[in-house]
Homo-oligomer: A and B are copies of this chain.
């Protein structure tokens, strides 16, 4: 699908437009990098004021560059770039990387320049990475279009970044540490090629076994979600999202509105797409390394093999935090270990071979651990000791790891004395971290991805039977944008969501008629456009048992609201059946500018506000998505039945979420909708109150 991106990574000929002979210029650095890292294709510096740079013939213009030529790397003042792009188009260049800044990031003027550029490349069918990026690296063929110092080792991680600096920082971190990459892509302003395009490209790239991404925002949320859902079934995608901004204390009209912020939409999308979200760049690298090098585990039971108890204790804590448990070592395995390890060694898990443990002991113990059917992961930990050579231990670990199909994740706790041991492990396909606490997230993410791969997920959205025409007519008839129960109820009803019996009454006569129809006891609620929280104005009377009560309550509510009469116009009253107590939950939807409808589920009552125990997913939801939302909350325990409280009808909540999802897809004009409370019973459920906002 992203075939034409190949010209960025495997071009026939590369021109550097703006290449300088001055070694203090970035463009000179790019030329150097193109020469120094093994790229054997043609490189053409373009600069009217030089005839030769770094031993290469320099051309006055792109027009003069000979064939073959697919790719141009451009580093020139921003305002010159449209003309250069025209020349590139005429010359038949297929792809351009624009390193230069000075575009939308500087404001209006820059944005206009970008639009000009976009028209030109669209016109010629050129693909562009950038502007305002640091370029690309292809570790396979040595094509390095950046000015970054150094280039990582070759490996299976394809990395893309919306921050050029993060690219630079990572290279500086990993360059001598052996961590292997296939591609490194700085995306810049994403005028043309964006994160989703690159993910599609890397998905099809055979060298790339894992995709790692640093993002600050996603261009087209729904498209990103769909692409990643497909890709993550083939290879894992690890992602870090910067800018988890605080939404602050905005005035909001519903819990869904308050809680469903931008970051929630991102995290929900990442979950639905099977992405592995991490919080730090270091975790991004360690988890990517693990998923690149390790086979998937069959379970979550790990055995630690160590030469020291303290680091093993730290590792155990963090493994447990990440859902990995310590395996029971089989009696047979233990008796084998007992034969060889020193007497004082601990052969329970963590297996502590003590400080003097050497390469043979590591090898022997790992061999037996990897053969033990009760163990899914092996975790060798080495703290450098005066009398043991870490490189020999590393060789032993790599040798055992190579023989088996179980993941081995190692920790060499140190820096100074373990450089070569580290490279031996990575060469041998064993991920290695430098502190025991970092093993947890690696093992946990690997296990999580194994479950994602195993779970047979369908992305088929089942169309439920709803009365879309009726809903459409209702929405067409509305004026204004905020609506309470009166106008939201019929919409829910049209979409098959169970609503408490009742209706709107403008007069006492209406109310009596309604009450007789739905039967006493009833509830009377004041309806006014100005009242957002009925309970705060005491605008509800419960348990009305007969007509006399009803008339009295009607007057009572009118009296209560007299003090607000200046500000509040009473439209009438809702007359509804008094519902039985059940489990209160909240179900809602808020539209996100990037991703569309974001569904929310959470516990009702004060719990939602105090504990924020809520879950989000992007519409449209599959049944599994809806079910996983429920499972993700702590409140799920209550739904399943807890102590003397019986289980409630979980399917009724799932059904409601699916219908709300369909409603949000069918009517993009619904900005926000919330059912609170949605009362769930041992059989069935009822929407007791609801509201919505249209755009």
Contacts and interface: CB of A to CB of B under 8 A. Distances in A.
B610 A317 contact: no
B634 A383 contact: no
A414 B148 CA distance: 12
Interface string A325-362: 00000000000000000011000000000110000000
A309 to B, nearest CB: 6
Interface in A600-619: 606-607, 609-611, 613
B162 A310 contact: yes
Given A165-B413, A413-B172, A606-B643, A314 B418 contact: no
A414 B644 contact: no
Contact of A642 (B147, B164, B606): B606
A308 interface: yes
Contacts of A418: 172
B344 A149 contact: no
Interface in A1-31: 24, 26, 29
A393 to B, nearest CB: 14
A481 interface: no
A101 interface: yes
B164 A308 contact: yes
A196 interface: no
A169 B311 contact: yes
A309 B173 contact: no
A477 interface: no
Please indicate which of the listed interface residues A150, A279, A310, A434 has the most CB atoms of chain B within 10 Å of its own CB.
Answer: A310
Nearest to A355: B165
Contacts of A106: 343-344
A243 interface: yes
B243 A638 contact: no
B417 A149 contact: yes
Contact of A386 (B29, B214, B386, B436): B29
A371 to B, nearest CB: 27
A242 B317 contact: yes
Interface string A232-271: 0000000010111010000000000000000000000000
Q: What is the count of identical protomers in the complex? A: 2
Contacts of A240: 314
Please indicate which of the listed interface residues A163, A177, A535 has the most CB atoms of chain B within 10 Å of its own CB.
Answer: A163
A645 B535 CA distance: 11
A634 B216 CA distance: 31
B310 A161 contact: yes
Question: Which secondary structure dominates where chain A touches chain B?
Answer: loop
Contact of A437 (B102, B149, B279, B606): B279
Contacts of A314: 166, 240, 242, 280-281
Contacts of A150: 416
Contacts of A437: 279-282
A401 interface: no
A171 to B, nearest CB: 8
Contacts of A535: 643-644
Interface string A633-660: 0110110001111000000000000000
Nearest to A165: B308
Interface string A368-410: 0000000000000001111100000000000000000000000
A664 interface: no
A168 interface: yes
A661 interface: no
A316 interface: yes
A509 B197 CA distance: 84
Contacts of A307: 165
Nearest to A634: B610
Contact of A149 (B175, B317, B384, B643): B384
Given A609-B642, A645-B606, A384 B29 contact: no
Given A280-B437, A606-B642, A320 B172 contact: no
A536 interface: yes
Contacts of A169: 308, 311, 383-384, 413-414, 435
Given A355-B165, A416-B150, A105 B282 contact: no
B310 A166 contact: yes
Given A166-B310, A172-B414, 7 more contacts: A149-B416, A166-B314, A168-B383, A172-B413, A172-B417, A244-B320, A610-B642
Interface of A: 24, 26, 29, 101-102, 105-106, 147-150, 161-166, 168-169, 172-173, 175-177, 214, 216, 240, 242-244, 246, 279-282, 307-311, 313-314, 316-318, 320, 343-344, 354-355, 383-387, 413-418, 434-437, 535-536, 606-607, 609-611, 613, 634-635, 637-638, 642-645
